[in-house]
Amino acid sequence: MKTNGLILIFTALSFYSPIKTIASGGGDLINYYSGTKRTVLVEQFTNASCNPCAAENATFNPLLLQNVNKIAVVKYQVWWPGKDPMYDFNKPPVHIRAGLYDVSGVPHTDMNGKDFNISDFDAQMVDNAATLMDTSFDIESWEKKFSDNSIDATVNVKNKTAISANEGNALKLFYIVTEEPILYSAPPGSNGEKEFYFVMRKTLPNGDGLTIGEKQAGTVSSYNFNYKISDTIDIQNLKMVIFIQNISTKVIKVAATYVPKWVEYITNSCENDPTQLGPIEQIGLGNGPFTYQWSPANGLSNPTDSATTADPAISTKYTLSTTDFSGKTVIDSVYIVKDSKPVSAFSYSRGKGSKYVSFDSKTSKNWTSCKWIFHDGTIINSTPANTITAKSYPSYGLYDVKLVVYSTCGTDTISKQVGVWATGINDDIASDKLKISANFTENQDLTIHTEVQQPATFGIKLFNAHGQMVWNEKSAVFPTGKSSKIIKVENLKPGFYFVQFVFSDSAPYTLKLVNVR
């Protein structure tokens, strides 16, 4: 169990933990947001060299700023009619969102996924749009900011009603980082504008969003995003926008927006690693006895004691209400950031006939560094910022590859045997790991000969010269060492045949044979 002191967010009177007060991991900070109110999403497509855009923004921006407590705003700076460095900063999401709304000219504005005329925009229009929004989603988010301005964000989405597979596949979660204001000393484009608001800087994980999928009612789903704020962005001007959209109908189901309020936090807690909160020494309250109430109670060993053990399933804000004998109550909060254990996974690819293989660890989860270990003892270290590594092999064959991923919550390892050989006909596959050959016997039986260092399972397909498959065995098992397998195929005519060996994690290998009888 992890025993740590508390880093507290003061809402009334501070309380003190005699265990240990930590310095929040060298300047790391956290922001917490929880919202259930219906917020209207406004998306605008504009350009710094578009004269009509400048004219519209002169009127529209003040209206947007007057309604920031009711609306979430994202402005996408597009690539036409002229120069715009804010478009150049992050191009792909702009193209995806403009394509979704069939934007053919700017300025173009959508409210909750529908095109509208800004001349009709006022507070009443926003209120009317809010009343039509879905109320079946709650959003909670955490942003953990490190001293190098990298951010680890977690978004928890609770769906109060069930979501079918068809609807869930169309529902996408978007996490967007905007900046405002962006102030230029000279206009960056040709329309004279020097002040820009609500500008999209990052769309995570990309412009396509994350699929919500089929969910039972009451499900809380957690999504993680990792990114780093560019040195050219003023981190004090960030504003987060989170929304769920049905990309088939374009309807916005729920939206949220907030300015991060960075505060210190308790040290990270890993899965199945409880954290002790307290005991608490009261300062400033009256005489006891005291009563204590932690909320929520989820994950707590005793929610009515000054000292409790917390092991929440997800990152959680806990609030402690302390009441003295006279009935006076103070309330304080503490954040526990829950990190998941790392999960190792990788893919690989290569060109036809190539002995140069590219490996990618991007499918691994919750990791901060990794180590590739190859058959010849070569070790390559990497990070999430550089997931791709490569290896050149001396000859075709079957090779061991191991990937170990690390985080503050532990390690995880995956090992694979990677087939490295050409995909042409009768290419040499011989290696110290795997040797395969085949021939037809006098009885027209197909005989497969193997020599492997450990038991191997792969598929076997036989094709005639016309490409017709005449035999298929999906999982043929071969024991360690040398062995032969006889396959009886009836009514084979004389001529050319192709036997293909199908492996689960590498390209197939094909031999050309002749049946002379």
In the chain, the N- to C-terminal Cα span, in Å, equals: 73
Residue 172 and residue 244 in contact, taking contact as beta carbons nearer than 8 Å: yes
DSSP string of 441-483, one letter each residue: -TTS-EEEEEEESS-EEEEEEEEETTS-EEEEEEEEEE-SEEE
Strands 456-464 and 114-115: unpaired
Task: Note the residue count of the chain.
Answer: 517
- Gap between the Cα atoms of 3 and 21, Å rounded: 11
- Gap between the Cα atoms of 305 and 320, Å rounded: 10
Enter the tokens of residue 265. Answer: 């936090």
Per-residue pLDDT of the chain (517 residues; tens, 9 = 90+): 444 333 333 222 222 222 222 223 334 566 777 766 789 999 999 999 999 999 999 999 999 999 998 999 999 999 999 999 999 999 999 999 999 999 999 999 999 999 988 989 998 999 999 999 988 999 988 787 877 888 888 898 999 999 999 999 999 999 999 999 999 999 999 999 999 999 999 999 999 999 999 999 999 998 988 888 988 898 889 999 999 999 999 999 999 998 887 766 555 678 777 887 776 555 556 777 889 999 999 999 999 988 888 888 888 888 888 888 888 887 777 778 777 889 999 988 876 557 888 999 989 988 889 999 999 999 999 988 788 898 988 877 778 899 999 988 889 999 988 877 655 555 445 455 677 888 887 777 888 888 887 788 888 888 888 888 888 988 888 888 888 888 888 778 888 888 888 876 666 778 888 886 6
Phi-psi region of 332 (alpha: psi -120 to 50; beta: other; left: phi over 0): beta
CATH code assigned to 33-258: 2.60.40.10
pLDDT of residue 272: 78
What's the one-letter identity of residue 287? N
Homologous superfamily in CATH for domain 347-420: Immunoglobulins (2.60.40.10)
Give the per-residue SS3 of 275-307: EEECCCECCCCCCCCCEEEEECCCCECCCCCCC
Residue 190 and residue 199 in contact, taking contact as beta carbons nearer than 8 Å: no
Enter the tokens of residue 161. Answer: 């009603």
State the CB neighbour count (10 A cutoff) for residue 431: 19
Residue 45 and residue 147 in contact, taking contact as beta carbons nearer than 8 Å: no
- Chain CA centroid to CA 268, Å: 19
Catalogue the long-range contacts made by 222-225 (C-beta closer than 8 Å, 24 or more residues apart): 222/154, 222/155, 222/156, 222/314, 223/154, 223/155, 223/156, 223/157, 223/173, 223/175, 224/152, 224/153, 224/154, 224/340, 224/366, 225/151, 225/152, 225/153, 225/154, 225/155, 225/175
- C-alpha distances in Å from residue 240, one per residue of 108, 184, 247, 362: 22, 22, 21, 25
Catalogue the long-range contacts made by 380-384 (C-beta closer than 8 Å, 24 or more residues apart): 384/226
Class of domain 2-22+266-337: mainly beta
Whether a cis peptide bond, with omega within 30° of 0, leads into 181 is yes
Residue extents of the structural domains in the chain: 2-22+266-337, 33-258, 347-420, 434-515
Whether a cis peptide bond, with omega within 30° of 0, leads into 296 is yes
pLDDT of residue 431: 53
- C-alpha distances in Å from residue 173, one per residue of 32, 112, 168, 207: 18, 14, 11, 10
Q: What share of the chain is helix, strand, coil (3-state, %, to 5)?
A: 10, 45, 45
Domains 2-22+266-337 and 347-420 share a fold: yes
- Gap between the Cα atoms of 125 and 289, Å rounded: 53
State the CB neighbour count (10 A cutoff) for residue 302: 13
What's domain 434-515's architecture? Sandwich (2.60)
Enter the tokens of residue 44. Answer: 């605008």
